[in-house]
Amino acid sequence: MNRELAEKIRKVTPYTPGEQPKKKGIIKLNTNENPYPPSEKIREAIQEINDDTSRLRLYPDPDSSILKEALARHFGNGLSKKNFFTGVGSDDVLGMAFLAFFNGNEPVLFPDITYSFYEVWAELFNVKTKISNLDENMRLVKEDFLKNEKLGGIVIANPNAPTGLCEPVAFIKEVALAHPECLLIVDEAYVDFGGESAVSLVNELPNLLVAQTFSKSRSLAGLRIGYAVGNEELVAALEAVRYSYNSYTMNMPVQLMGSAILADEEYFNLTVKKIVNERERTKKRLKDLGFSFPDSKTNFIFVKHEKLSGEYIFNELKKRKIYVRHFKADKIKEYNRITIGTPEQMDKLIDALVEIVAV
């Protein structure tokens, strides 16, 4: 490539997604996907599309009205469609938020161990950052988020990833009130598995934006549905940025399927309960094998062994066709993140770990 041309290309360190193995017979516990299929309600939306495929020749509703209205009904609490912003997964929503709101000279604050896409977006959009180091128990240092200092924004994943730990809503409110001059984004990708949502605070706190996703608890990682909840002014600002970039980010079939699945709370509660129960069962079994971990409130467990290295365990599991997520950063290199699968999958994981630990 021409050197002058190469110098004009934006240089960024991209986010590294979890491995997506194509081999058969793999037990895939590395990307926090839901092991259960989505609600059968989704078939109604698919049938609606099949009955009139000519609709696909038209552009989708750029406002995603049907999905926003379904979300407003789901959450209630005085929220309307104007309180919701939708995107292609919560990554799209969060990226838009970085682009829309973090434009000042002050740094954006987030933890050193958290969702690694935050750092990527900050680099991509030239956002200054301020990093708070987690304490020895992998928890947020709350004082760092309550200091009387000028910030350009704050981002908190709650529950945090990859640690799985959750902070109470009272703390989220305290942070928002301590920094009225900047936006607080709370990323609640895993909140349905035991966390406490801050959505109830969005009408009270004008600087709070809460992001959620259908990828985890609603078994729709393949459809890419994310959304943010905030006051109407924040949502309008996000919409202005989206319309300036791509008006049609969410296609019509996805809008229909996303709104349909919200109507089946019974199935949603059932699958979430299955995952939570299996998580707690797996915690006990891992502890018996010499593993330690933070008290996860998500659909994964962040584990390390008292004697074996994280990389060794990761590689040994992979030899047995069990994929988990290993991290190379110094602070967490002895850890592996294990997604909660079905009871059968977790039994096979434990059997493999019994072998590995014994050797």
- Each residue's pLDDT tens digit, 102-148: 998 999 999 999 999 999 999 999 999 999 999 999 999 999 999 98
The pLDDT assigned to 127 comes to 95
Report pTM: 0.95
d(CA 255, CA 262): 11
56 contacts 252 by C-beta, under 8 angstroms: yes
Distance CA 157, CA 122 (A): 15
Nearest one of 226, 241, 242, 182 to 207, comparing CA atoms:
182
* Residue 245 CA from chain centroid, whole number: 23
pLDDT at 14 (0 to 100): 81
Cβ pair 150, 143 in contact under 8 A? no
Structural domains of the chain in order of their starting residue, each with its CATH number: 18-38+266-358 (3.90.1150.10), 41-263 (3.40.640.10)
Assigned token pair, 136: 């020895």
Q: Which among 17, 70, 32 has a CA at the least distance from the CA of 254?
A: 70
Is pLDDT of 13 > 90? no
State the pLDDT at residue 5: 75
Two tokens, residue 62: 């750029």
**For 317-324, what is the mean pLDDT?**
96
CA 289 to the chain's CA centroid: 29
pLDDT tens-digit series, residues 235-287: 999 999 999 988 888 999 999 999 999 999 999 999 999 999 999 999 999 99
